[in-house]
Amino acid sequence: MTDPAHGISGRPFSVRHQGGFPTIAILCFVMLYAPMISLVIFSFNGGSTIGKWEGFSWNWYVSAINNRQIQEATIRSLQVASFATVIATVVATMAALATTRTKAFRGMTAVYALINQPLMIPEIVTAVALLIFFAIIKGVTGYTGMGYLFAAHTAFCIPFAYMPIRARLEDMSLTLEHAAADLYATPWKAFYRVTLPLLTPGILAGAMLAFVISLDDVVISLFVAGPGQDTLPLYVIGQLRRIVTPEMNAVSSLFLLASLTLVTIFFFLTNKKQ
């Protein structure tokens, strides 16, 4: 009788040995990363066209760094992402503790699904819903400031921060927390001295993921941001609608570098051995 996990020859099954798999894998990687590589290469183009190489130059990076509009949009993006990250991480941590460090109760699955619902709903639907909701608030209060952008990013980032924090909690044994309780530690002291230090890698990973999601967001920002509230992605889109220059390549390359750095840190934090 043939073992389903082994081939006819008895060799363990491996998808890498399937015909055409290496070719398909290479093709997928080329289609995914070739445009990014081209973007980075042509950000160093000395000419003003994006498709014709005219020599190596740092001019477009210097121009992008000295561009006042880019500076303002970058600062605004960092402010929104930082605020959303802090609030979303705190809320996600409390939600993760409430759904893992408690006895199972009726409706826990529904709560878990509710927290993660924004991940399953198309982002355009969330953006339209926020636009309508904030329009009602504007009509009642007359407020038109940046608070709507802060609130929208915070709400959208909560499930992204929640996932790694919950995963970390599920991997943590309750033994040390029970031992702290046996030694007369209060619930708050046990959390502060035992749970929180062990949970820190998950919290940092969730915060970094939330920061990247907020920093890269386009759809929600496009619907919620008011006049003069453009984030860096919105500024780039606005410029690309007018004229495409290597300066946008330089901005996108710097943006890509920042995102890759944060994602790399997130990867190492989530794979850190206990």
Q: What is the pLDDT of residues 157-179, one digit of tens each?
A: 999 999 989 988 888 877 887 78
Nearest-CA neighbor of 233 among 215, 207, 210?
A: 215
For residues 26 and 15, the model is more confident at: 26
With a cut of 50, say whether residue 36 has pLDDT above it: yes
Q: Quick check: helix, strand or coil at residue 107?
A: coil
With vertex at residue 161, the alpha carbon angle to CA 238 and CA 82, rounded to the nearest 5 degrees, is: 50
pTM over 0.75: yes
Domain-wise residue ranges, the chain: 66-270
Q: Quick check: helix, strand or coil at residue 12?
A: strand
With vertex at residue 20, the alpha carbon angle to CA 14 and CA 22, rounded to the nearest 5 degrees, is: 70
Tokens 């967001």 label which residue? 217
Residue type at 162? Y
Nearest-CA neighbor of 260 among 216, 217, 221?
A: 216
Q: What is the pLDDT of residues 201-236, one digit of tens each?
A: 889 889 988 998 998 899 999 999 888 888 988 988
* Dist. CA 22–CA 4, nearest whole Å: 23
Residue type at 192? Y
* Dist. CA 54–CA 42, nearest whole Å: 9
The dihedral sign for the CA sequence 71, 74, 80, 86: negative
With a cut of 80, say whether residue 50 has pLDDT above it: no
DSSP state of 16: G
Q: What is the pLDDT of residues 117-150, one digit of tens each?
A: 888 888 899 999 999 999 999 999 988 889 999 9
pLDDT at 272: 57
What's the rounded mean pLDDT across residues 177-200?
82
Which tokens belong to 35?
């445009």
pLDDT at 1: 47
Q: Would you say 178 and 45 are in contact if contact means Cβ atoms under 8 Å apart?
A: no
Which tokens belong to 176?
């040390």
Buried b / exposed e over 182-219, threshold 16 CB at 10 Å, is eeebeeeebbeebbeebbebbbbbbbbbbbbbbbbbeb
For residues 79 and 108, the model is more confident at: 79
Q: What is the pLDDT of residues 101-120, one digit of tens each?
A: 777 777 777 888 888 888 88
Q: Would you say 231 and 225 are in contact if contact means Cβ atoms under 8 Å apart?
A: yes
Cα 246–chain centre separation: 26
Phi/psi at 18 (5° precision) = -75, 145
- CATH of span 66-270: 1.10.3720.10
